[in-house]
Amino acid sequence: MKTLQRRFITLLLGLSALWLLAPASDLSNASGFFAWRNLLVQYSGVLGIGAMSVAMILAVRPTWLEGHFGGLDKMYRLHKWLGIAGLVISILHWLSAKGPKWLVGAGLLERPPRGKAPEQTVEIFRFFQSQRGFAESIGEWAFYLAVVLIAIALIKRFPWRWFFASHRWLAVVYLALVLHSVPLLSFANWASPLGVVVGALMIGGSLAALISLFRRIGVKRRAVGVIERAEFLEGPRVNAIGIQLRDRWPGHAAGQFAFVTFHAEEGAHPFTISSAWKGDGKLLFLVKALGDYTRTLASSLRPGDVVSVEGPYGRFDFEGAARRQIWIGAGIGITPFIARMQSLAVTPDGRVVDLYHCRSVDDPVAGAHIAADAQAAGVRLHVLVSGRDARLSGERLRAEIPDWRDAEVWFCGPSAFGDAIRSDLEANGLPEGRFHQELFAMR
């Protein structure tokens, strides 16, 4: 996550540096309240539209960026942070634009003398000047809508389907904010590196918004398949769903996930592909009956149902220099490890691996499957059952695995649990970048 945080901060600092170096951001000549206010409006405008443009681009799942960010789950986390940053910055932008007007209206501030706007010689800038009024009002309304839509996204009380249905409208809001930003960015800044970068980000973001609005996200990575097997394991309350793909599938690395649509009206949900790729078009998904929709699968899925699978995505692929690995799968977070064990059973990689599976229920059938996969892959399996065994902690791991400092740790499960283990191991000497965590929450 530190890498992601660094990327997030670098983006905002990069935009800030470009703005500071831009011709119209001359702080040394700024004097008086309204001069500083105008600079703040320009700066927050650039930062806000920059953050939202990158968030928009990440929303369309650009796989060519996955390697850079460590997987789509991380890109969506950055998307979320940029959305929140965009909201906070645009509130500051709105307040710095409107606030002084309210103060003038309340007689608390004197309106600055307004000279005649300089005559623009460049045709396009003359046009932008003529659009100021339109740009200001479309920006204001888009801002109010953005606040509502981002609030729905952040407040988890709103069910996923509300979030999902409303979130798409943010693409429309984004396009309106581009129409607001283009004419209002200081003309002198257009002809500068800042103008080039912000312009490119807005073009990229606008294309992404159109891809989202025309529902073209991931279409090239979608395959149709038929359910061959739909079995509900009562003990762990997990649906085992076997799919035979009809369309071409590019193959996948063990640990990757896909967006699966079992019912078109519900839309896609992300699930880890719980089987290694054998080139036979078969995929297995293990889906915990967890929430509104997944609880219905046991009674709604039937062999023969047609489904769509989009992917593969993710970089939870067990690649790394270390010859030693420690795996921790909590609950349904065992799925990427099942796929990896199946792949190691066919193509061993010579690494020494310990797998800790923390379960709330010790189901003999599911347990036997996992034990058999571990045996075949040569993985040392440790099973911890809540209520029977002590919780897994970093301290316990360090005590049980003497060479833990030489290992790479792969964790999949509840974020807080992962963060606790990571901070313990890193505080005791695990080098940064050796703890890999798949994020199962996209909201």
Ligand X SMILES: Cc1cc2nc3c(=O)[nH]c(=O)nc-3n(C[C@H](O)[C@H](O)[C@H](O)COP(=O)(O)OP(=O)(O)OC[C@H]3O[C@@H](n4cnc5c(N)ncnc54)[C@H](O)[C@@H]3O)c2cc1C
Helices (H), 403-442: 415-427
**Which of 13, 27, 290, 306 is in the footprint of ligand X by CB under 6 A?**
290
- In 374-405, which positions are buried (b, 16+ CB within 10 angstroms) versus exposed (e)? beebebebbbbeeeeeeebebebbbeebeebe
d(CA 236, CA 385): 12
Selection from 435, 402, 431, 403 nearest residue 421 by Cα: 435
User: Contact region for ligand X (CB under 6 A) — 1-9, 380-388, 394-402, 434-442?
Assistant: 434-442
Least distance (Å) between residue 438 CB and ligand X? 6
Shortest Å, Cβ 153 to ligand X: 10
Measured from the CB atom, is 57 or 283 closer to ligand X? 283
Stretch that binds ligand X, among 55-63, 136-144, 268-276, 399-407 (CB under 6 A): 268-276
Minimum gap (Å) between residue 332 Cβ and ligand X:
4
Total number of residues binding ligand X (CB under 6 A)? 23
| Phi, then psi, of 287 in degrees rounded to 5 | -115, 120
Taking the complex as a whole, how short is the minimal distance between the CB of residue 34 and ligand X, in angstroms? 44
Beta carbon of residue 236, minimum distance to ligand X (angstroms, whole number): 10
256 binding ligand X? (CB under 6 A):
no
342 near ligand X (CB under 6 A): no
Best CA proximity match to 341, nearest among 386, 380, 387: 380
Contact stretch for ligand X (CB under 6 A) within 50-58, 371-379, 424-432, 433-441: 433-441
Rounded Cα distance, 22 and 38, in Å: 15
Given a contact cutoff of 8 angstroms between Cβ atoms, the answer to whether 285 and 260 are in contact is: yes
147-186 positions binding ligand X, by CB under 6 A: 159-160
The 300-339 contact track toward ligand X, x by CB under 6 A, reads: --------------------------------x--x----
Adjacent-strand bridge partners of 328? 356, 411
Helix (H) or strand (E) holding 248: none
**In angstroms, what is the minimal distance from the CB of 274 to ligand X?**
6
DSSP element (H, E) containing 32: none
Residues 65-94 that bind ligand X (CB under 6 A): 73
C-beta of 437: minimal distance to ligand X in Å? 11
Which residue in 269, 315, 340, 436 binds ligand X (CB under 6 A)?
A: 269
CB nearer to ligand X: pick between 269 and 434: 269
Nearer to ligand X, 38 or 437 (CB): 437
Judged by CB under 6 A, which of 271, 337, 356, 411 binds ligand X? 271
CB 245 within 8 A of CB 221: no
Spatial distance between the Cα atoms of 183 and 47, rounded to a whole number of angstroms: 16
Measure Cα distances from 433 to 4, 394, 407, 426 in Å. 11, 17, 11, 10
Q: Residue 425 Cβ, how far from ligand X at the closest point, in Å?
A: 22
Please state the closest distance from residue 377 (CB atom) to ligand X, in A.
18
Among 100, 270, 394, 413, binds ligand X (CB under 6 A): 270
Least distance between ligand X and beta carbon 333 (Å): 8
Q: Where does 22-91 show beta strands of DSSP type E?
A: none
Q: Does 287 bind ligand X (CB under 6 A)?
A: yes
Pick out residues in 367-396 that bind ligand X (CB under 6 A): none
CB of 120 to ligand X, least distance (A): 48
The CA distance from 400 to 410, in Å, is 16
Cα–Cα dist 235/366, whole Å: 8
**Quick one: which H or E segment has residue 116?**
none
Rg over CA atoms, the chain: 26
- Binding window for ligand X (CB under 6 A); candidates: 100-108, 175-183, 284-292, 345-353: 284-292
Residue 71 vs 183, nearer CB to ligand X: 71
| CA proximity to 276, closest of 364, 206, 346 | 346
The helix/strand/coil state of 195 is helix
Q: Which listed residue (96, 192, 294, 342) binds ligand X by CB under 6 A?
A: 294
Closest residue (Cβ) to ligand X? 291
191-228: string of b/e by CB count within 10 Å (b at 16+)? ebebbebbeebbebbbebbebbeeeebbeebbbebebe
Single out the residue of 94, 187, 277, 293 in contact with ligand X (rule: CB under 6 A): 293
Question: In the complex, which residues of this chain contact ligand X (CB under 6 A)?
Answer: 73, 159-160, 257, 269-272, 286-288, 290-294, 332, 335, 438, 440-443
